Amino acid sequence: MGSRGQKRTETADELPADKRACSSLEFRPSSSNCSSIRTHLNSPNSTPDADMETSSSTSASSRSDGEHEKEDESAYGSCDSDDAEQQPRHHILRDYQRRRSSSDHGKLNTILSNLNEGNGGSGQLAALTELCEVLSFCNEDSLSSLMADSLSPVLVKLAKNESNANIMLLAIRGMTYLCDVYPRSSGFLVRHDAVPALCERLLAIEYVDVAEQCLQALEKISRDQPVACLQAGAIMAALNFIDFFSISVQRVALATVVNICKKLPLEGPAPFVEVVPKLCDLLQHEDQQLVESVATCLIKISERMCQSSELMEELCKHELINQVTLVMKSNSRTTISQPIYNGLIGLLVKLSSGSFVAFRSLYELNISNILKDVLSTYDLSHGISPPDLVDGNCNQVHEVLKLLNELLPASTGDQANQVVLDKESFLADHHDLLQRFGMDLFPVLVQVVNSGANIYVCYGCLSVISKLVVLSKPDMLGELLKTANIPSFLAGVFTRKDHHLLMLALQIAEIILKKLSDVFLSSFIKEGVFYVIDALLMPEKCSQLMLPVFGGIQPSFDSSQKSSAREFQRCLCYAFDMVPSSSVSSCKIDKDTVCNLAKHIKTNYFAPELVESDKGMTDVLQNLRTLSAALSSLINMPVDDGTTVQHEEKFYSILHQIMLKLNGREPVSTFEFIESGIVKSLMHYLSDGMHMRGNVEFTGSYDHLVVLGKRFEVFTKLFFSYSDILVEDLPLSILIQKLQSGLSTLENFPVIPSHGFKQRNSFATVPNGRCVMYPCFRVRFVRAEGENCLSDCAEDVLAVDPFSPLDAIEGYLWPKVFTERTEYGELDAEELEQREVLPNLLPSNANSTQAKSSGFIDSMSIDLPEMQEDEANFSQIASEQVHFRELNSGETMSLDETNMGSAGKEQEFPTESTKNMRTPCSASGDNDIKDSSARLLLYLEGHQLDRTLMLYQVILQQLLNSEKEFMTWAKLWSRVYTITYKRALESNQDDPQEHTYQERKFSVSDQKIASIQNMGYFASMFACKLTSDLDKSSPIYDILFLLKLLEGINKYSFHLMSCERVRAFAEGRNDNLDNLKVMVRSVSQNEFVSSRLTGKLEQQMQDAFTLSTGGMPLWCNDLVSSCPFMFSFEARCKYFRLAAFGPRRGQLNAISRSNSGTSSDRQTTSGGLPRKKFLVSRDQILDSATRMMDLLARHKGLLEVEYNEEVGTGLGPTLEFYTLVSHEFQKFGLGMWRGDHCSFITSTTLPTESVILRNSSGLFPRPCSPKSDANNGIQFSQVLKKFVLLGQIVAKAIQDGRVLDVSFSKAFYKLILGQDLSLYDIQSFDPELGRTLMEFQAIIVNQKRLQESICVENAALKQDLCFRNTRIEDLYLDFTLPGYPDYVLSSECNLKMVNSANLEEYVELVVDATIHSGIARQVEAFKSGFNQLLEIIQEFEYSQRRAFLQFVTGAPRLPPGGLASLIPKLTIVRKHSSNCADTELPSVMTCANYLKLPPYSSKEKMKEKLLYAISEGQGSFHLS
């Protein structure tokens, strides 16, 4: 019965009228006998099995909410008890089915005898009616082959009874039901000539309902007997009168044709050609499903006929080309599925390959315009797959490129057939068509290659470009090449590693120089094409070029080596050829082909004197090199107070000359810009040489802060002091454009698809022995030579989880290879570990973690990047804080990191490999062994492995660093890797030379400016690791680092310009405080976005498998962390959602944001994450929000809001709720924000009608004295609670993808992210106060300069201490915070009134109260609310976290991907308990990862009981 129910489900959507009485009889001219038929056949089509399946799925979905304890208890019971209950149930079902089958068999025998007796029309009609009823309810077990064979001739005979339409209808319906219940019966029906009988009825079409039933019967038979249907003419019979039927019946008819076309015989006659005109007409049908079926038929027919040119020509005579191109027009890709669209392109490929008529028609129909639209709007995700099939569907861009290659014929001498010759002759006679073709596609093809497409797409595009260049005449080629900078394009291609691409680039260059040498020779030299060709021939010159040219030419596949046919099939030489794979023998590029062509170009087109480096350089390159050398010389120039001004003037002069060259009349090519060394010199100078060092710490001295500050100020003055030019013409904007162009030319970061291997179940022995859904690496662990402290690994070759971190592998390996002699005898690592770990599991150790975890909230935000200046949406800020650490750390992540997506410090919680361990060899007995303390060093092919990476990343990076860009996935997974290990020695202290710099003497005033400049941000730039797989000597590293510096300077341009004005005032170059006002026109953040890198990141993020396993390439995680500005806002948001919430919620959030306000959001979320409804009151919106967060803050599903006494729920009310809450937090009287000068009052006394607080600069917390707790602590505690609630609301809005109508200031965002603020940040939210403090600061710095002077007069000192011609004392300022008279800055008796002596202290206290101590508690309250998910687990030690996972899930580790990949999902519900819940323990159901917590009175009590249950509940199942 279960199989029957399943079968009904599969066919219900396809044939809606299949299992009910046909209601179309009423359309017959005569229907006197129809009523009796409808009466007998109108029984319902529901079965107990179907009901049972529905109720089962419903109950499964209803359990997710966890609202009722009884349901939860029953749903998540013991696995053993469930199996015990299922056994008698299965016995009952089997007995029922056996009895039912016996009964059905008896009924069928009776019906068969009645049909054979021939008791007149009424008897046969009744027998057929009963037969249909029995067949509609029986299953395959009720029928036998003998019964089916006996029924078939009877039903076929009755189907030919033209005297009685009702008998015909029921007989044909009986055939349909018979095939449905017993599919093998289709063979019996065919043997008894059922198909010709059905075709005869269709061609006669006397009755519509009979014809409809015939179509349904044919569809069933055609599934198993397509050839018999073809031979009987079923295709033409099904399509002959298709226009007379309804849409649903037309779909059935086309389904029959599709079944037949999928199994067309390869040999013999082709009777299906006659239906092509009818199919072509149906291509323009309005029904999408019908059009897709027609397209499938045509695709299959073309595949059958592609071997014969005559048959292809026959197809083209029926307007097939015209109809297909109409379907492919513009918006068709949004109405038909992508596989069908790809199939239509493949159909055109086959037609144009074998038919000259098709070739000519495509040119005349301007197919290039259609293909241009496909390429120009294609998603980069279309280019990630190799040319073989993925899920049975060809890659769309690959098909387009195959079509383009077929439309540009290339004769190969004697092998050219007549069709190719006709094509070449046609293009030679129709230059206008070829030119239109080239003008449409040439710039798009160049754009696709430059966009970062994979090697297959690049090869296809270059192949098309090469053919266009060959077929074009010189004048036409000149016009064509004007649409793109072809020399720069070719220079970028020459940086690729693959020799197929190099060969095509050389061919293109050779043809261009041959046809247009006088036009392009100079540009080839200017763009560096000549230099890279010379470097290809002489690899020793590669080291002299800054452009990373691939040298040392060797073929990708050496023809002398034996390789499998599968590898040769994937060779790029045959990627776009219409050649069967069996005929592919070897790579077409032999060892000397590339060298010979490069030598030919150099000899014939470049003059010998160009080989001389000085003569070959352009004037622009020589001038830029001179300026670069001058800039480099400034680095070694000693700097002190006497030479500072001169030094800055030289720097300014050189920078000015460089910018004049970059923006001069003669354009600077990317090659000249990179090769000149300007990038390296600028970066070296601005970073003071620190970019090449490791982690830089500025300890004990402001010297380097002063150097950096002054250089950044000069740089900012030059780049931002223009007020009369457009922003896009600013020098900084021009420099950024050059850097972006260089990055697009040089970068070659890989995009790694997961479908390079097939997902299959396998068992990973290392590190924790579990089944995985992907292949494992085969690894042999070998002890390093000379290693005497460790033993050999007993196992030979082990299966290693590729997505496990190396420290987890070390944790597996350490106990097996390490033994130690102690006072207890010889103990292995596991015994030593147990002696130390077991005491940590006891509850008595809980208090020891308090001090360690107290700074957890602070640690959440330490390494977060800077926020962008022009975007104030918090989702953007959150998108920059995630480093994807949780996906790359496997089981070593913390629970809070998995749920919140926060990148906490790795050393906060040790990993498996760094558990607490004391041995006689240990340096100390401390329990705080950090992640960095490795016990083993692992090596692969002589290279030490980074423990922070996964084995998959390490091996993949090693493969990518090889000399081949073409990756062979089969070898990646089949080979055995040898990893050597040895004991890790204690790390030595850093080399003292690493952090020693040239001593410089600076004045106290300079150091004061550096201290208020907040230069810590700039110092962090140099300590930040850009990407671990990039060499620091690479020009790509230089470009990225310089872009990072420029983005920081642009972001802090106001700070830098303000410091420059203060310095000018202090040095006497400016004596007017009004000149301190700064107006900076910063460059838009969009200027720093790399479209190429953004496209690659989007491409990589569409691979769900690499996201869930953490197999992202290294550059993705590193660059998003270190250079988030390189990626678009949308890409960062998507990255954040995927990293923080997993692929499932991330995709749902993206859909809900794009479909905001539509009904599709409901459909999407209902089928994905669970939803939780909450009833709120409009009159008490904050109270409702508080209750909601208390109950549902940790609920991982989507929250939906329903208003009290209102009708309606879903997306609309939920979005309104977040808007109302946002407005409520911005009302006057809450005491939360600056500008709200009301005293602190409780929520019970708030006015009912409050005005919303508006601030054009955004909201910033209202300062409150730290001492106010002693006076009015209860009222201030209400403010802190509101900040906690606000943090929860913001976190939940980000998690659910909702929008908040609240505008925080940029300074508040910085505080949330853990960044320090300075005096200059005050102007961003309080311009008047900030400007006044800056003027005071200028007076203070000026005073210090005068005090340092050798000769100083008292009168001059007093004059400089005046503020706008008013003595400081006469301002009558007291030591209270401006605007907040109750905030006393200092209680010291000598700090009552502000004077010249204490002005500096007054400014420091005001700044501290405004941006530090006065708002610290509010910010921490917000962050605590934001980070409140799984708060208890955050406070656990590492060993306690492992014990918690063991307690709840049965395993101490999480799967790759963390909690997001845990199946079933972790569920936490309230446990019903007695009146005294504090005495009860939590319980779990490990089968369902289900934790039940009693309603404890406090967080401390919950933690105590959890720890007790974890420690005492191990090894038993009593707490269930």
805 phi/psi in degrees, rounded to 5: -70, 155
Structure token pair of residue 145: 């082959």
Planar angle of CA 910, 913, 917, nearest 5 degrees: 80
> In one letter, which amino acid is 1178?
R
Q: Contact at 8 Å (CB) between 778 and 789?
A: no
CB neighbour list of residue 608: distance below 8 Å, 6 or more residues apart: none
Q: Which of 1234, 1246, 1233, 1416 is nearest to 1317 (CA)?
A: 1416
Eight-state DSSP code of residue 1407: H
Distances (CA, A) of 1519 to 1482, 1506, 1512: 7, 12, 10
Q: Contact at 8 Å (CB) between 1053 and 1080?
A: yes
Q: Contact at 8 Å (CB) between 833 and 935?
A: no
Q: Which of 1027, 1121, 1108 is nearest to 803 (CA)?
A: 1108
Count of all residues that appear for the chain in the document:
1520
Catalytic residue among 542, 793, 1024, 1487: 1487
Q: Which of 1226, 1263, 1285 is nearest to 1421 (CA)?
A: 1285
Residue 1490 host element (H or E): strand 1490-1493
Structure token pair of residue 560: 């002398």
Q: How far apart, in whole angstroms, are the C-alpha atoms of residue 86 and residue 525?
A: 80
Q: How far apart, in whole angstroms, are the C-alpha atoms of residue 1490 and residue 69?
A: 12
Q: Contact at 8 Å (CB) between 1293 and 1299?
A: yes
Planar angle of CA 455, 457, 459, nearest 5 degrees: 65
Residue 1487 annotated as catalytic: yes
764 phi/psi in degrees, rounded to 5: -100, 110
> In one letter, which amino acid is 216?
Q
Q: How far apart, in whole angstroms, are the C-alpha atoms of residue 820 and residue 828?
A: 6
CB neighbour list of residue 1328: distance below 8 Å, 6 or more residues apart: none
Sheet holding 1171-1176, edge to edge: 1171-1176, 1198-1203, 1209-1210
Q: Contact at 8 Å (CB) between 1231 and 1241?
A: yes
The DSSP annotation for 442-466 comes to: HHHHHHHHHTT--HHHHHHHHHHHH
Question: Quick check: helix, strand or coil at residue 612?
Answer: coil
Q: How far apart, in whole angstroms, are the C-alpha atoms of residue 1115 and residue 1239?
A: 51
Q: Which of 1081, 1017, 1009, 1014 is nearest to 1044 (CA)?
A: 1017
Eight-state DSSP code of residue 493: H
Structure token pair of residue 330: 């513009």
Place of tokens 């070296």: 684
> In one letter, which amino acid is 1136?
F
Pairing of strands 1171-1176, 1198-1203: parallel
Eight-state DSSP code of residue 1471: P
Residue 1279 host element (H or E): helix 1268-1296
Structure token pair of residue 838: 């077991």
Q: How far apart, in whole angstroms, are the C-alpha atoms of residue 469 and residue 777?
A: 46
286 phi/psi in degrees, rounded to 5: -80, -15
Place of tokens 């006393």: 1384
The string over 982-1007, giving b where at least 16 C-beta atoms fall within 10 Å of a residue's C-beta and e elsewhere, is bbeeeeeeeeeeebeeeebebbebbb
Catalytic residue list: 1487
